[in-house]
Chain A
Amino acid sequence: MRKQLCDALVARSVNSDMVFLTGDLGFMALEPLQSAMGHRFINAGISEQNMVSVAAALSRQDFDVWIYSIAPFVYARPFEQIRNDITFHNLPVKLIGNGGGYGYGVMGPTHHAIDDYGVMLALSNMTVYVPVFDEDIDAVVTRAGASAHPAYIRLGRGEHPKSFSVPGYAPWRQLTHGGGDVVIAMGPLAGTYIEDFEKLPEKIRPNLWAVAELPIEHAPIPAELIAQIENSSILCVAEEHVRHGGLGSELLLNLAGRGVVVRCFQHLYARAHHYERYGSQKFLRRQSGLDIHSMLESLGVAIS
């Protein structure tokens, strides 16, 4: 998604009030943005705490401020600076974290971000964007950029089948239709289930939804999805995030508040920051039970 991000920000940078700060990352990806922005593209160096506070101060002067780094370096390292300097003042700084979830795979646990949006959602006024497809980036940059509040954007990589026709951006989108149960997945993970779900008979094919924005108060659940949940024997939520503070708990709280009954709740989530063995994002998803086999098993669907 970095290519699409760079293109979207280059387009946005015609606004002379835009300032972009990177924590010394973006090699072979953000050079076009650097060229387009000149002195408004600031490599703040390997000093994320300072970068976030500087961004807050620039935003205080009404600059349109975007920050970029590898996900854990943009939300975990400078957490107090985000909390105190950005969100206490409700400053519309946009934090972009690349490689959300297990995106950095075999690079190891320091580079994984599986507790990012839960942490960010604990902060007041914060909106989280987890684009599902590469094609979402334009819309996400536009929506986040138009917001008067801070935002965290978790970048991954679009993972839909080649033959899949990507629907236009929306915070909640239904990706597969059938007579089966409801599956709701956060961000790009949703795309990994499409191909196998489509192969299932229509009668048992899950209704797969992708979520791209939280909290739910900012991006309400479509009525159609509520109706499907009410008629479903299993509601399965999958997210490349730890159990606490993620989509699963937020969704259940919201549904409980509405009086919607969930007959059976299955939660597939990122199990750990560190395993004894490392591997690709796909490997780590499998370790966490986020792969398609674990998903079908949780739905009680026989694997052919």
Chain B
Amino acid sequence: MIGRFLAAKGQSQSEPEKLFLCENLQFLTNSARIFRISNKNSFQSDHYSLILKRTVLYLHKLFLNMVLEKMNLKPQDFLNARKRLLQMHFESGVGHIGGNLSSIDAMLIVFHEFFKGMDKFVLSKGHSAGALYITLWSIGRLKDDDLKSFHSDNTLLAGHPPAKGIEDIPFATGSLGHGLSLAAGTALGFRLKNNDAHVYCLTSDGEWQEGSTWEALIFACHHKLDNLTVLVDHNNFQGFGSTDQIASMSPLWEKLKGFDVELHVVNGHDPDDIRDVLASKQRRFRIIILSTVKGRGVSFMENRMDSHYLPLTAERYRQAMEEIDSK
């Protein structure tokens, strides 16, 4: 667990911190081992050994919490990202806000806390491009000037992820049902190259009505792509109504249970829930269903169909920013 944690966090953790953590853990673990070996015939010594072992575990946890506390995104980071997203959409007069607000928490956590080296992220629900752009901006991969150009003439930032020009976006998406196959192919490619990079793919829930998504699911399961994690933004809405009313598969996780897949259902707006599941040891192709709220964080957008399409008026924008500031 420690190894995985260090591997996952390695990029953003400073070298002195890593060294400090490793040295202390090594020291305590060795102490416990030596104590136990030298006293193995003594019941009393075993008892002390157990106490020491528990102490070591406690200290492990303490160190982890300390470092996690330092590295994890803070609540304010999520609020700031939401505000920047709303600002960008307001300034450009662009809608599609609801699905951005439902998925941005998971995107932020993936990119800030888990993404490393050669990892790839495929945004299958391309209509949440705004959240992806804000996330890339938050890690310094896009600039303010880029965001200002969103949706305008001569921009790199199209309404859906573009085919060229942004290194962190491997594929143009926007037509639903492509992303999971692209992610599966990328994961297979990493395996063929003996590359231990990981692939993340974010789909919508309505997108599971696309047959090609199920083709990709079958493929990913059959090829046992344990280097692939799919996040499903399960906000219960699609283009012209709720997923339940239009083509219900509710609950989606029940349908997925029959596949050879590591399945999790978590609160898609609880950072710790998302972190815990992403940090857990992955043994198979993994699907994490994020139970989310369309328009999350802005009361008049939450669970509303129109938040899928309509841009913000000046009054609504002011109201939304005030709401977020008050949290």
Contacts and interface: CB of A to CB of B under 8 A. Distances in A.
Interface residue SS majority, chain B: helix
A47 B218 contact: yes
A57 B192 contact: no
Contact of B216 (A39, A40, A53, A88): A53
A183 B219 CA distance: 47
Contacts of B182: 53-54, 56-57, 85
A269 B96 CA distance: 47
Interface in B169-210: 170-173, 175, 177-178, 181-186, 188-190, 192-193
Contacts of A57: 170-171, 181-186, 188-189
B163 interface: yes
A88 B174 CA distance: 13
A58 interface: yes
Contacts of B323: none
Nearest to B181: A53
Contact of A63 (B170, B175, B177, B189): B189
A39 B170 CA distance: 25
A55 interface: yes
Contacts of B178: 53, 80-81, 84-85
Contacts of B222: 45
Interface in A223-280: none
A217 to B, nearest CB: 22
Contacts of B117: none
B281 to A, nearest CB: 25
A54 B185 contact: yes
Given A45-B218, A45-B219, A47-B218, A54 B175 contact: no
Interface string B205-235: 0000001100110110010000000000000
A81 B213 CA distance: 12
**Centre residue among A50, A81, A88 by max chain B CB count within 10 A:** A50
Contacts of A49: 177, 181, 211-212, 215
Contacts of A40: 192
Contacts of B211: 49
Contacts of B172: 84, 88-89
Contacts of A19: 192
A81 B170 CA distance: 15
A36 interface: no
A44 B219 contact: yes
Given A47-B219, A50-B215, A89-B163, A60 B189 contact: yes
A60 B171 contact: yes
Nearest to A83: B175
Contacts of B219: 44-45, 47, 50, 54
A85 B175 CA distance: 10
A49 B185 CA distance: 12
Contacts of B193: 61
A203 B212 CA distance: 58
A18 to B, nearest CB: 11
Interface residues of B, number: 27
A50 B192 contact: no
Given A49-B212, A61-B193, A84-B175, A54 B163 contact: no
Interface in A62-97: 63, 80-81, 84-85, 88-89
A54 B212 contact: no
Contacts of B190: 61
Nearest to A78: B212
B185 A58 contact: yes
A40 B223 CA distance: 12
Contacts of B218: 45, 47, 50
Contacts of A58: 185, 188-189, 192
Contacts of B215: 45, 47, 49-50
A289 B61 CA distance: 80
B254 to A, nearest CB: 23
**Centre residue among B172, B177, B181, B184 by max chain A CB count within 10 A:** B181
A45 B182 CA distance: 16
A244 B219 CA distance: 36
A54 B184 CA distance: 6
A291 B164 CA distance: 47
Nearest to B162: A88
B186 A50 contact: no
A47 B216 CA distance: 8
Contacts of A89: 163-164, 171-172
A61 B181 contact: no
A221 B26 CA distance: 74
A155 to B, nearest CB: 24
Contacts of B184: 50, 53-54, 57
Given A45-B219, A57-B184, A85 B171 contact: yes
A237 to B, nearest CB: 35
Contacts of B185: 53-58, 60
Contacts of A61: 186, 189-190, 193
Interface of B: 163-164, 170-173, 175, 177-178, 181-186, 188-190, 192-193, 211-212, 215-216, 218-219, 222
27 contacts: A40-B192, A45-B218, A47-B216, A47-B218, A49-B177, A49-B181, A49-B215, A50-B184, A50-B218, A52-B181, A53-B185, A56-B171, A56-B185, A57-B182, A57-B186, A57-B188, A58-B185, A60-B170, A61-B186, A61-B190, A61-B193, A80-B178, A81-B178, A81-B181, A85-B178, A85-B182, A89-B171
